[in-house]
Structure 1
Amino acid sequence: MADSPTLPQRPAGGTRTVLVIGGGTSGNALAVLLRRAGIVVDLVEASPDWKASAGSGITLQGNALRVLREVGVLEGIEKDGYAAEGLAVLAPDGTVLHAHEELRIGGDDLPSHIGMQRPRLQQLLIDQVRASGADVRLGTTATAFQQDGEGVDVTFSDGTSRRYDLVAGADGLHSTTRSMIGITDEPQPTGMGIWRAPAPRPSGVRRTEMIYGGRCFIAGYCPTSEDTVYTYLVEPARDRASLNPDAYADEIRALSEGYGGVWEELRTSFTDPKAVNYTWFDRHLVEGPWHRGRVVLVGDAAHACPPTFAQGAAMSLEDAQVLAELLTGRDTWDDRLLTDYHARRLPRVRMVVDASVQLAQWLLDGVRDADVPGLMHRTLSALKELP
């Protein structure tokens, strides 16, 4: 289905309409779930390239897979991703210190986690959005909201306007929707930065493996297909303005020096600076209401955390699932519905954000006797419960 240059006229008969702002993981999932219930959905994405910021790799825990199965992309994920055989902690020289199976927090019928190339996940979601019949406009943003008790009049960057029953802001960590509705909470850096890059999968790597210590806080990799892995190195945050993107490959190679095992093979593949990504770890949680009137936040726009639990995508996907469940299950779309959405999501999201930040802080502080296994077990066990 080609992107429409203009939005179609709304059907008569009281069909509900939702605007989804942001074509990332949570926005795409929400669009599909709402369309399945017969709700008319328009999706706008600021980037003209829907896959431009997809990233290199992603670890999808069981609770993320649970939602993605409902969205209809699990089969593609299982085909194109890699169901890792547990997790191992290694010494800097590559010696295995500890290996274990992971909790199947999505249920016994789902893998504990699947790693995959993030652009491939994005493409699967894009294909599902297109198949759903949602109307998509790329290179387009919402520039103004005018609300009343029945809906939202939205003005777009191309000069068009349209009225919706609800607007969902799924436009990421630095959400413009959030600021447009007057929510002032902003992400705060935790003091850590992460280098990420894809690489060919070394033979024998069939699980996620991490090294704590050495030149970095964490040096790890996760298989993302039969042929690829997603590598990452976590260090104290640097001044991003001082980094030269043309030297990113040199930086990640230098950081990986001193790590043994398959890192010696991985290091040789870090040659293209454009394939390397550097970002900070942020903590973000909107404690107060996630909506103003009929505009509501979803995913990273409302919360984000360091990837120490690999739960960022899962929390965003759960948002989409819960919001879609409420919108499709109630006759009345009102303040109570959006308040209930916030009440269901906040305690669970806060638990994950706080635990993820705590793990990162223990590494920053060099705490050697921290109860990392206990914190991980308590948090992941709680996530086995449905959101």
Structure 2
Amino acid sequence: MTSPRRADPRTILVVGGGTAGCALAALLRKAGLAVDMVEAMADWNVYGSGITLQGNALRVLREIGVWEQVRARGYSTDGVSITTPDGTVLFTQQDAHTGGEDLPATLGMQRPALQEILTEAVRAAGTGVRLGLTVEELTQDQDGVQVVFSDGSTGRYDLVAAADGISSSTRTMIGITEKPVPTGMGIWRTPAPRPAEVTRTHLAYGGPAFIAGFCPTSETTLYAYLVEPNRDRAGIDPATYAEEMRKLAAGYGGHWDAIRDSITDSSQINYTWFDRHLVEGDWHRGRVVLVGDAAHGCPPTIAQGAAMSLEDASVLAELLAGADTWDDALLTAYRDRRMPRVRMVVDASVQIGQWQLDGVRDADVPALMARTMTVLKELP
């Protein structure tokens, strides 16, 4: 599997237009490579109430060139306030500046706002984008990948990057069998108006839920979440999501009183399970390579899922742009460079949740977080 540098740009197909796919496409275009993208959703939208981005995620967004837009539409914070269920603040812990001292420690923003910024960057970079399209067939040889799309069209590429999420069909198509495994927790999320006094994340451990938290996402908004033992999603009528979340939130006071009153629109509420996912072997087969959630995923207990996907995109783009030859050694180097850091984040994220599931009251969560963040301060 070799690809000597040619006068014409080598071509890459990015499958999936979420955080990892958009970041990779934008970075590859900055490097002068020819990039096409296909995204299954015809409106290219990402649903969700909010996202927490720590400094190492912001560092990649700055590399892409969208940091100023992200800063303008998000809400920068410097710490987390730990509270009792009634809202009393016990202490405030300062967040680590994992992206360097010149970036905020943490920034919250509305998830659709981040998607809009990234998709605009992808288009502005000159990526060939086709929406409402999936990959139906991949045929590889030593020189490239022949792709058949869901509309019957075809294309040939030097490399295919699978950024189609934790349930990646491309991953299955190339014979990688690892799949996400539920950890036993589920999370309710909703957007809500931000009280002026809420200037950082608040987390309550205990009460009716394992975790009750909220994070500012703009000058006027926040997103709130409640973590509980996972339920059979098929047994919950989506029309009752607002009622279900209000019931669970009834055990919390302080700012939760106003947040709870705002939970009225079930269509704005998202309920998902926590999963652990990590492809242990190679992250590629021939000329098809996994990026982001297609390769790994974890509960949001340390808010590093998006950061790991963004770092994947940065590292893979750096390696592809700097290499005369795209071969197994290069794609293995990508996986080897990412694996220790990703495994640390996945394991730490799952461990925090498992301590709660097991009722471990003396778990040293701050020490685990401190060790993890110390590593994340280093460049990926």
TM-score band (shorter)? over 0.9
SS of residue in 2 equivalent to 1:308: helix
Question: For residue 22 of structure 1, what is the aligned residue in structure 2?
Answer: 16
Looking at structure 2, the residues matched to 208 and 112 of structure 1 have their Cα atoms a distance apart, in angstroms, of 12
Alpha-carbon offset, residue 258 of structure 1: 2.0
**Percent of aligned pairs with the same residue?**
66
* 1:267 aligned onto 2:267: no
Looking at structure 2, the residues matched to 15 and 191 of structure 1 have their Cα atoms a distance apart, in angstroms, of 46
**TM-score, normalised via structure 1 length:** 0.96
* 1:231 aligned onto 2:224: yes
* 1:330 aligned onto 2:323: yes
Alpha-carbon offset, residue 216 of structure 1: 0.2
User: Given that residues 54 and 122 in structure 1 are in contact (C-alpha distance below 8 angstroms), is that contact kept between their aligned partners in structure 2?
Assistant: no
* 1:64 aligned onto 2:57: yes
Looking at structure 2, the residues matched to 115 and 54 of structure 1 have their Cα atoms a distance apart, in angstroms, of 16
Which range moved further: 76-85 or 115-124?
76-85
Alpha-carbon offset, residue 13 of structure 1: 4.3
Alpha-carbon offset, residue 15 of structure 1: 1.6
Q: Letter of the 1:34 partner, please give it.
A: L
Question: For residue 3 of structure 2, what is the aligned residue in structure 1?
Answer: none
User: Given that residues 89 and 209 in structure 1 are in contact (C-alpha distance below 8 angstroms), is that contact kept between their aligned partners in structure 2?
Assistant: yes
User: Given that residues 16 and 39 in structure 1 are in contact (C-alpha distance below 8 angstroms), is that contact kept between their aligned partners in structure 2?
Assistant: yes
Question: For residue 92 of structure 1, what is the aligned residue in structure 2?
Answer: 85
Structure 2 unpaired stretches of 5+: 1-5
User: Which deviations, in whole Å up to 9, do the C-alpha atoms of 1:344-372 show, x marking residues without a partner?
Assistant: 01111000000000000001111001111
Question: For residue 38 of structure 1, what is the aligned residue in structure 2?
Answer: 32
Looking at structure 2, the residues matched to 156 and 96 of structure 1 have their Cα atoms a distance apart, in angstroms, of 53
Q: Letter of the 1:247 partner, please give it.
A: T
Structure 1 stretches of 4+ with a deviation exceeding 2 A read none
* 1:165 aligned onto 2:158: yes
What are the residue-to-residue correspondences of 1:161-310 with 2, within 5 Å?
A: 161-310=154-303
| CA RMSD of superposed structures (Å) | 0.8
Question: For residue 3 of structure 1, what is the aligned residue in structure 2?
Answer: none
Which of 340, 344, 364 lines up with 1:371 in the alignment?
364
Q: Letter of the 1:215 partner, please give it.
A: P
Alpha-carbon offset, residue 100 of structure 1: 2.1
Looking at structure 2, the residues matched to 101 and 373 of structure 1 have their Cα atoms a distance apart, in angstroms, of 11
Alpha-carbon offset, residue 203 of structure 1: 1.9
Which of 108, 114, 135 lines up with 1:121 in the alignment?
114
User: Which deviations, in whole Å up to 9, do the C-alpha atoms of 1:146-165 show, x marking residues without a partner?
Assistant: 11111101110111111100
User: Which deviations, in whole Å up to 9, do the C-alpha atoms of 1:184-205 show, x marking residues without a partner?
Assistant: 0000000000000000001200
Question: For residue 7 of structure 1, what is the aligned residue in structure 2?
Answer: none
Q: Letter of the 1:118 partner, please give it.
A: R
Alpha-carbon offset, residue 242 of structure 1: 0.2
Q: Letter of the 1:327 partner, please give it.
A: L
Alpha-carbon offset, residue 101 of structure 1: 1.4
Q: Letter of the 1:268 partner, please give it.
A: D
Looking at structure 1, the residues matched to 359 and 128 of structure 2 have their Cα atoms a distance apart, in angstroms, of 50
Which of 133, 151, 154 lines up with 2:147 in the alignment?
154
Structure 1 unpaired stretches of 5+: 1-11
Looking at structure 1, the residues matched to 289 and 189 of structure 2 have their Cα atoms a distance apart, in angstroms, of 31
Looking at structure 2, the residues matched to 278 and 222 of structure 1 have their Cα atoms a distance apart, in angstroms, of 17
Q: Letter of the 2:286 partner, please give it.
A: G
Q: Letter of the 1:244 partner, please give it.
A: D
User: Which deviations, in whole Å up to 9, do the C-alpha atoms of 1:117-146 show, x marking residues without a partner?
Assistant: 000000000100010000000000111111
Q: Letter of the 1:302 partner, please give it.
A: A
Question: For residue 137 of structure 1, what is the aligned residue in structure 2?
Answer: 130
Alpha-carbon offset, residue 78 of structure 1: 0.6
* 1:352 aligned onto 2:365: no
Question: For residue 109 of structure 1, what is the aligned residue in structure 2?
Answer: 102
Q: Letter of the 1:150 partner, please give it.
A: D
SS of residue in 2 equivalent to 1:144: strand
